[in-house]
Structure 1
């Protein structure tokens, strides 16, 4: 098993694209990249900890290679927005790929180049590619939020503007 860590704005919205794929053995919502040890959501939402909201995926690369995870990741985000994602604003909602080994770094860089060369965007691709550091699991109520609170999740996602952006820039 390997791990992949992706920041794509609100971590609630980053679970569903990956959860029912073959070879995915777990998805945890959490925080990564900042300086606060064992941060809480209350600390994260201030935007002062340096952490990103992210998902950490445990996967079997023989069934679902890292490159396929990257192919799923990019169409979930606006890779040109350095100040957050959709309605979620602030540094905690920036996009980033946190690589866990050299192979992931090479694949992430190549995928970013492909997105930049695709012609989908006129602005610069600002999604960062960063070495993975300590990942802190978010509070239990954030885990599988879309299953625990489907009505609120659906309303929040509809208000965010994420889905129209995805449809416009990435297609179905």
Structure 2
């Protein structure tokens, strides 16, 4: 499934009647881990994830464009809205996957992307996600396989704006350019140096 939506309500409206009759419910997580192309690509490989949408959040401008966000003046962060089936993957597993696909020792960007618009953040929704996020952070601090300090922010969700259509599924639409970018940024090499091979 590859529908680009920005809310659970919109997704529910698209579901077939049999699923609606079963009161089937997806949940969302909003996560920032640097380049949203890469975060989206990583999460769309995780079993139980229905869709991952690249976008912008946490800024002070309504409906920001990629150019405005990338300049760093809107306060937004590149992020991904992960829509998942809680019967197949839990929020705790979503968080665990997040940690092991970013560099949590950096708060000035991620990999080759510099600036606050690329910093890593977990945006929690409600008390349950907040508690899970802080528990996940505490657990990681005790068990991390590296010595450097963890610098990932935990913040309440803000308005999420889906990015322009050409950014969605960028890794599928432009595979050669995407693979070159990811390799040149040494994202996977840095992740492996921190966490070991997956």
**TM class, shorter-chain normalised?**
over 0.9
> Which residue does the alignment assign to 2:28?
3
Aligned partners of 1:140, 1:13: CA distance in 2, in Å?
Answer: 16
Q: Mind listing any 5+ residue stretches in structure 1 that lack a counterpart?
A: none
Aligned partners of 2:45, 2:33: CA distance in 1, in Å?
Answer: 18
Q: Mind listing any 5+ residue stretches in structure 2 that lack a counterpart?
A: 1-25
TM-score by length of 2: 0.84
Q: What's the CA shift string for 1:90-109, capped at 9, x where partnerless?
A: 01000000011211111111
> Which residue does the alignment assign to 1:71?
96
Runs of 4+ in 1 over 4 A off after TM superposition: none
**Candidates 87, 103, 124, aligned match of 1:62:** 87
2:186 is aligned with 1:161: yes
Count of residues in correspondence between the two structures: 172
2:66 is aligned with 1:46: no
Q: What's the CA shift string for 1:31-65, capped at 9, x where partnerless?
A: 00111110000100111111110000111212211
Aligned partners of 2:60, 2:174: CA distance in 1, in Å?
Answer: 30
Give secondary structure in 1 for the equivalent of 2:123. Answer: strand
Q: Which has the higher contact order (CA 8 A, sep 6+)?
A: 1
TM-score by length of 1: 0.96
Give the root-mean-square deviation of aligned CA atoms.
Answer: 1.1
**Candidates 112, 120, 132, aligned match of 1:95:** 120
Give secondary structure in 2 for the equivalent of 1:6. Answer: strand
Deviation (angstroms), 1:114: 1.7
Q: Flag the structure with larger Rg.
A: 2
